[in-house]
Amino acid sequence: MKKTIFLISLFFLFAVFVGPALSSDHKKGQDYGGHFGDMDLDGNDQVSWEEFKKHFEHAEKDVFNKVDKDGNGSIDHDEWHEFKEQQGYGHKE
């Protein structure tokens, strides 16, 4: 009986804590909750595709283009926070 309870508990803990980290959505890189300043490597208040890709190694160009609302090839602070708000991420100071 103790062994059964232990195995059920172990399965539960795995499902709650490890399972989400291994999910396909996580592997596809759906987490875009980063801080703008961490992405802006050259400090010019714009994030290029190259900077975006360095920060989010899993990033796909279509996501970058979605964030770049004005289509100028870079993301500014306002575009980034608008995207994060739409995706349900909070603002990180």
How far is residue 80's CA from residue 46's CA, in Å, rounded to a whole number? 10
Q: Whats the size of the chain, residue-wise?
A: 93
- Looking at the structure of the chain, the number of domains it has is 2
Neighbours of 11 (CB within 10 A): 11
pTM over 0.75: no
Specify whether 79 is located in the same domain as 90.
yes
Structure confidence by residue, pLDDT tens digits, 16-69: 454 444 443 333 446 888 899 999 999 999 999 999 999 999 999 999 999 999
**Does 13 score more than 50 pLDDT?**
no
Q: List phi, psi (to 5°) of 48.
A: -80, 170
Angle at 24 between CA 20 and CA 30, to 5 degrees: 85
Specify whether 41 is located in the same domain as 7.
no
**Does 5 score more than 60 pLDDT?**
yes
Specify whether 44 is located in the same domain as 55.
yes
Q: Report the pLDDT value the prediction gives residue 55, as an integer from 0 to 100.
A: 94
Specify whether 3 is located in the same domain as 36.
no
Range of the domain at 56: 31-93
